[in-house]
Chains A and B, each alone.
Chain A
Amino acid sequence: MAKIMLVDDDLDLAEAVAKVLGVDGHKVVAEESPGKALDAMRKDPPDLAILDVMFPENSSEGFTLAQTMHGDSALRGVPILMLTAINVKFPLGFSSSDIDDVWMPVTAFLEKPVDLDVLREKVSAILKKSAGQG
């Protein structure tokens, strides 16, 4: 069982994802505000963070949060899964090849809408890899 922080301003989606990951025994905390999520993670670092990219007040706040986590000694080791509706085929979109330690310090991407089985497999794979490294 793992602690997962889910940061997404779309609560309908967040609740659905939380329910699915809960089936695998994970404890999912959903936050719609990146600021509140960061505070909560600093108090109790999760095993995995699932982040959206675009938020109402800032269209790249998910990246900012990932960068802040990467620069925070307590959260640097937390794997990050980006779950975003930004089209990976779009010129301003991104894909796994864009991941780097400074600009985009994340572990993996999934594009919304995501198949729930694919999401569960991805989460399991990341947690397994993270546990192996830890």
Chain B
Amino acid sequence: MSSGETIGPAVYDVPLPKEERIIPRAPQDGRYAPLPNVLLAQNALWVCRLRWIAVGLLFGFGLFTFLDGLPDFLGVKSRAMWPFVTAAALVFGNILFLFYIRGLEALPARFDIYTNLWSQIIMDLVVLTVVVHFVGSMETHIAFVYLLHVVLACIFFIPRQSLIVVATSCLLFLGCILVEGLGFMGRGGIFVTTIRTGPSAPGQIMLNLFSLWAILLAVWYLTSHLSIMVRRRDMQLMETNIRLIEAQKERTRHMLHTTHELKSPFSAIHTNVQLLLKGYCGTLPKEALEVLTRISERCRSLTAQIQDMLQLANLRSEAQQMPQSARLDVAALLRDCLGQVEPAALQRGIVLESDLQPVETFFVEDHFKMVFLNLLSNAVNYSNEGGRVRIECRLATDGRPRVSVADEGIGIPPEKLPNIFNDYYRTEEAVRHNRSSTGLGLAIVKQVVQTHRLHMVVESTQGKGTRFTVELPPVNNGESLRLETTHG
């Protein structure tokens, strides 16, 4: 058979893996993606808010010129009306723009936002030119206020668009100077001493004009360049974030399959061993039953170990993506946990005591159960037969729910206490007492406690027992609420 022949009716051409790289939305040639519509709409609203400052300044200056004495002392022309007129124009425009923005839908069309933003900028530039005329186009540095609009335009728009704002500012300033210079309007100026009747020298006009243009262009170039860099970095961060989220999802999917694939065979072994142990397949010799019991125990222990390993790995990856917290009934959840460890306690004649006051916490339910199931299991596992395990929950004086789990078991030597939260660490005494522990229970507890920045204390006396105390987060900013209903 030649290599070119197919050998069956079904042919599947294995596809190449998909290109995983996310194509950046920011082109590399210096131009870059415009801001999203929602952000532009927020910016339009922000500019409206900023404009109230300009209105306040103009109105305040207008009032100032009506004061007795002080304007004369400072050489400022008194009783100016133009600040009120320009402030009124800004107020009128601002109300219209705000009304327009509020009327936009949650996902506004690009055209609507651009119309709004450009209308705002044109209005500002025209009003500013009027202010420049009245304050003094040649005698003061008021024309540099155009810079504010250039910077804002660089933030909102791509460089080509912000350059239009620069050009408009330059042209309006030129128009102002020409109108004044050609005598169509009298010379403005707020200072009595700078009021001149004749035109300024052409050299001064050109110097002022070109220096303003040059500064506007320089600021435009620097700000738009900076804006490009900031936006590129934003895009890179966004891409990295998307990749991390995807990687996390893939990892979670992988872990789900791993859990299933590892647990399934153990489950089948466990079930079949139980068939033999419980006599479903007839009576077995005592020695065979003992061997089967050992197999069953190791099987159960391996399953628990797989679960703990996956749980710990998952907790460590969750540290970046915290699950949602909710108001939790501490006592009710602790009763659930007690119910889960009760069979093991009964088997060894261990008495479970509880004093659970009705308090709430704001926490992740799964994490809560991980902590207290592990602490309770530990207390039961390391208690002596016929011993006592006590769990208490109450509201501390600082308003935080405090839960303690205490046993009268083997205890932990003081020098080994700092190590008990390490992965797979087990003291010699613990191994002698209970061989089947996974060595990961307290590592899981520590991971949850550290992730939520909880305060946990361990007290232990070798041969007498151990107590773990955990302070939980309060509900509603530090005030844990007592439940109105009491639980029995």
Contact = CB atoms under 8 A, between A and B. Distances in A.
Given A16-B271, A19-B280, A20-B280, A85 B256 contact: no
Interface stretch (A39-47, A72-80, A98-106, A107-115): A107-115
B134 to A, nearest CB: 65
Contacts of B366: 89
A87 B275 contact: no
A90 B254 CA distance: 12
A115 B274 contact: yes
A91 B314 contact: yes
Given A87-B307, A89-B366, A92-B252, A112 B272 contact: no
A17 B271 contact: yes
A13 interface: yes
Contact size range, A: 20 to 34
A116 B281 CA distance: 14
Interface in B438-467: none
Contacts of A19: 275, 280-281
Interface string A108-134: 000011111100000000000000000
B271 A114 contact: yes
B264 A87 contact: no
Interface residues of B, number: 32
A104 B167 CA distance: 63
A54 interface: yes
B256 A16 contact: no
B34 interface: no
Contact of B263 (A20, A23, A87): A87
Contacts of B253: 92
Given A19-B280, A113-B271, A116-B274, A91 B264 contact: no
Nearest to B303: A113
A132 B25 CA distance: 61
B260 A113 contact: no
A54 B300 CA distance: 21
Interface in A61-91: 84-87, 89-91
Task: List the 8 shortest-distance A-B pairs measured between CB atoms, nearest first.
Answer: A112-B267, A113-B270, A113-B267, A85-B263, A12-B268, A13-B268, A16-B271, A85-B264
